[in-house]
Structure 1
Amino acid sequence: MGRRTFTKEFKREAAGLVVDQGYSIAEACRATGVGSTAMSRWVKQLQGEYGGVTPKAQALTPEQQRIQELEEQVRKLEREKSILKKATALLMSDDLKSSR
């Protein structure tokens, strides 16, 4: 049997049963049909996100999802800037050689 996959919305709602509504992990597992290992991981992640920690995995809360999107944009812009710096240096060195 293959591994089940869950949407970030489902994970957020399932973990929210514990974090927001006071269910025990066992009760939330029974209510959602999810194993305790996965539920514990989601609960820990959601608690961390509520505390302002941006997870390495796909974020569950809209705020942390936005932070991840913005961090990816920053990484992309940094890569583009690096490429432009190298291209500028190359063009300038070519100009110096041809002006001699």
Structure 2
Amino acid sequence: MDNLGPYRPKFKNEPASLVLNRGYTVTEACRSLDVDETTLRRWVMEYRTHGNGIQ
């Protein structure tokens, strides 16, 4: 495994986009995608930092 962790940036962008662009709550997105809440909150912060998605 490389230093990107188990999830690629393209995969992380979709759940973060659901929260930021489509009106889902973090809880709703986590339930529908089976992702941990802490993980998704981190992805949302990364998405915001990069402006147009996780690099």
Do these two structures clear the TM 0.5 threshold for a shared fold by scoring above it?
A: yes
Q: Give the aligned length.
A: 51
Instruction: Give me the identity figure in percent.
Output: 35
Q: Distance in 2 between matches of 1:32 and 1:10?
A: 11
Q: Which runs of 5+ in 1 are unaligned?
A: 52-58, 66-100
Q: Which runs of 5+ in 2 are unaligned?
A: none
RMSD between aligned residues: 2.0
1:48, CA displacement in angstroms?
A: 1.6
Report the structure, 1 or 2, having the larger helix content. Answer: 1
Larger Rg: 1
User: Which structure is richer in relative contact order (CA contacts within 8 A, separation 6 or more)?
Assistant: 2
TM-score by length of 1: 0.46
Q: Report the TM-score when normalising by structure 2.
A: 0.78
Matched, 1:22 2:23: yes
